[in-house]
Amino acid sequence: MSEATFTFRVDVDLKKQFSRAAKGRDRTGAQLLRDFMRDFVRQQQEIEVHDQWFRREVQLGIDSANAGDLIPAEEVEAEAAAWREEIRRKMTNP
Q: Is residue 1 part of a domain?
A: no
Cβ neighbours of residue 22 closer than 8 Å, sequence gap 6 or more: 28, 29, 31, 32
Domain coverage including residue 76: 12-92
Q: How many domains, the chain?
A: 1
Contact between 66 and 57 (Cβ < 8 Å): no
Q: Is residue 69 part of a domain?
A: yes
Contact between 29 and 18 (Cβ < 8 Å): yes
Contact between 53 and 45 (Cβ < 8 Å): no
Write the pLDDT tens digit of every residue in 4-58. Answer: 998 999 999 999 999 999 999 999 999 999 999 999 999 999 999 999 999 999 9
Q: Is residue 81 part of a domain?
A: yes
pLDDT at 59 over 80: yes
Cβ neighbours of residue 25 closer than 8 Å, sequence gap 6 or more: 32
Q: Is residue 5 part of a domain?
A: no
d(CA 25, CA 65): 54
Q: Is residue 46 part of a domain?
A: yes
Q: Is residue 74 part of a domain?
A: yes
